[in-house]
Amino acid sequence: MKKNVFAIVVLLAVSLVSIKAQMKEPVKWKFELKEVNQYEVQVIAYATVEEGWKLYGLNVPEGGPVSTEITFEKGDGYRPLKSATEVQKPTVKHDDVFNMEVPFFKKKAVFSQNVRVTQKPSTIKGYVTFMCCDDETCLPPTDVEFEFKVD
């Protein structure tokens, strides 16, 4: 009986490792904080997109894929200004899957948003929500968190 339980545990562990190895992560993110002036900073999100994949822009029409979005958690000491922007323009082409014109990025994308700092020190927290597709599949929307200390 103990051998059967051990065998089942080993099989489950191997299965979980295999499943994790198969999870696709075609978009990698890096975040940077730049000082604009003593009261304002800029959060910059850099996306690197694997060959064959598309990352969608900030302004996808309704009924299409999920737009990329920067969301800030509520916190003392800061507030986001305006909305996020795309540092370079996305490619806009007709997408047969969604049957509409869709803005997207291949290889890389950079998004930024300014934040008013009202108290120092403070911690700016948030996340980027994004969706990506290749020619065969779309991955579900994913959140990637960021956090910066402002002194």
What is the number of structural domains in the chain? Answer: 1
pLDDT in tens, 115-139: 999 999 999 999 999 999 998 899 9
Q: Is residue 7 part of a domain?
A: no
pLDDT tens digit string along 29-59?
A: 999 999 999 999 999 999 999 999 999 999 9
Return the closest-CA partner of residue 130 out of 63, 62, 47.
47
Backbone angles phi, psi at 24, to 5 degrees: -90, 135
Please check whether residue 18 lies inside any domain of the structure. Answer: no
Phi, psi of 87 (to 5 degrees): -65, -40
**Is residue 13 domain-resident?**
no
Domain that holds residue 136: 25-150
In terms of residues, how long is the chain?
Answer: 151
Alpha helices in the chain (DSSP H): 2-22
Q: Return the CATH number at 129.
A: 2.60.40.1250
Please report whether residue 19 resides in a domain.
Answer: no
Q: What is the DSSP letter of 119?
A: S
Dump pLDDT digits (tens) for 52-67.
Answer: 999 999 999 999 999 9
Question: Helix or strand or coil: residue 120?
Answer: coil
What is the Cα–Cα distance from 61 to 103, expressed in whole angstroms? 9
**Closest among 9, 13, 80 to 43, alpha carbons compared:** 80
| pLDDT > 70 in the chain, percent | 85
Q: Give the pair of three-digit tokens for residue 129.
A: 């929500």
Residue 102 lies in a domain: yes
The token duo for 34 is 């730049």
Q: For residue 15, give the DSSP letter.
A: H
Task: Give the residue from 112, 111, 108, 113 showing the smallest Cα distance to 132.
Answer: 108
pLDDT band at 73 (very low <50, low <70, confident <90, very high): very high
With bands split at pLDDT 50, 70 and 90, how would you rate the model's confidence at 98? confident
Q: What is the pTM of this model?
A: 0.83
pLDDT at res. 97 = 80
Flag whether 109 is in a domain: yes
